[in-house]
Amino acid sequence: MKVVIIGASGYSGAELASLVASHNKLTLAGIYVSEASLDKEKYLSDLYPQYLGLLDQILQPLTSNAFADIQKNADFVCLCTDHKVSIELAPIFIEMGKKVFDLSGGFRLSSDEDYQKYYGFSHQNISLLNQAVYGLAEWQNTDDIKNAQLIAVPGCYPTAALNALKPLVDANLVSKENIIINAVSGVTGAGRKANVNTHFCEVSLAAYGLFNHRHTPEIEKYLGHKVLFTPHIGNFPRGILETIYVQLKENVTADQVEKAYDCLADQPLIRLLANKIPTINGVVNKPFVDIAWQQQGSQLIVMSAIDNLLKGASGQALQCMNISMGLCAEYSLLPKGVQE
């Protein structure tokens, strides 16, 4: 299948381009940026020297001619763009008959009211919002992903939280109290555009988005439980670590908790670490979700770690593309031979 990436100069876009270029059943048919981008006409490998020899392709501006080329030469279109840009572009490519994988938050929530409250703008395509399938690969029905024209690739923080919490909620082990999620992300999660608040030399460990972060409604929608989510930015490049505080129902035993997590035991990209504590170093540049937990009475602490650019974005988009082609979700993400 031929893949086009819009917004390929950003961190997630470049990461996705490298995954597609390394995949033996996909062809990277084009990489694009906006007409106003300072990155247009540059080689992607000049922006990211680690991809020299793999991504020696020119970033093309998204002109009318580019749309015509995409119509002729693409099967899958991946949007690594701003939320509002994705909402504008997705229907254009869907009208062309392309399958769209949107890595923004443009199609993850339920209503225009949610977008006004958490994203600060009114959603302009509610009908398409209702058609989008959420691409949480380990949990979504594979037929839904295969048959949908629009896949909303989950956010990075929700990916770590949902994989860690859904086994407990689905097993009905959690009390009605809010689940508390304390999450820390590397600065790549803030994107590549220059901003003094995310400049590496200026970043200190700090909370942001208290009570109103846009990933709160996303987690609650697909978890089916209220959460108190507090994100933090840390002074390291990539990775997410979440420490999650769960109040269990009365008399829930350690065996019940362990049995709940059995549903993830056979998932190749999820590692249950038993008594080990997940770390960011353990997942950086890897496609895994590392999950561990410790229980004291009715209190449970769950820890979850991912690479925000891989499992939290590009890797999960690739999982959805694999599923769409009838391959196992982890194809080409694991060491050669493991997925065969």
Instruction: Answer yes or no: is 100 within a domain.
Output: yes
Give the whole-angstrom CA distance, residue 244 versus residue 250.
Answer: 19
Could you tell me if 114 and 164 lie in one domain? no
With a threshold of 0.85, does the pTM exceed it?
yes
Residue 3's H or E segment, with its range, is strand 2-6
Could you tell me if 303 and 268 lie in one domain? yes
Q: State mean pLDDT over 23-40.
A: 96
Task: Give catalytic residue positions.
Answer: 156
Could you tell me if 116 and 167 lie in one domain? no
SS3 percent helix, strand, coil of the chain, rounded to 5, is 35, 20, 45
Q: Poorest-confidence range of 55-69, 185-199, 254-268?
A: 185-199
Task: Give the domain extent around 66.
Answer: 2-131
Instruction: Answer yes or no: is 150 within a domain.
Output: no
- Quick: pLDDT tens for 220-276: 999 999 999 999 999 899 999 999 999 999 999 999 999 999 999 999 999 999 889
Query: How would you classify the pairing of strands 179-185 and 240-247?
Result: antiparallel
8 A C-beta contact, residue 87 and residue 106:
yes
How far is Cα of residue 123 from the mean position of the Cα atoms in its chain?
Answer: 20
Q: At 190, is the pLDDT very low, low, confident or very high (cuts 50, 70, 90)?
A: confident
8 A C-beta contact, residue 177 and residue 228:
no
The residues pairing with 150 across neighbouring beta strands, listed in sequence order, are 100
pLDDT for 202 equals: 78
pLDDT for 340 equals: 44
8 A C-beta contact, residue 33 and residue 40:
yes
- Total domains in the chain come to 2
Could you tell me if 199 and 115 lie in one domain? no
- Quick: pLDDT tens for 102-127: 999 999 999 999 999 999 999 999 99
8 A C-beta contact, residue 95 and residue 128:
no
- Per the prediction, the chain carries an average pLDDT of 95
Q: State mean pLDDT over 145-166.
A: 98
Under DSSP, the state recorded for 37 is -
Sign of the Cα torsion 214, 201, 181, 81 reads positive
Q: At 195, is the pLDDT very low, low, confident or very high (cuts 50, 70, 90)?
A: confident
Q: State mean pLDDT over 5-33.
A: 97
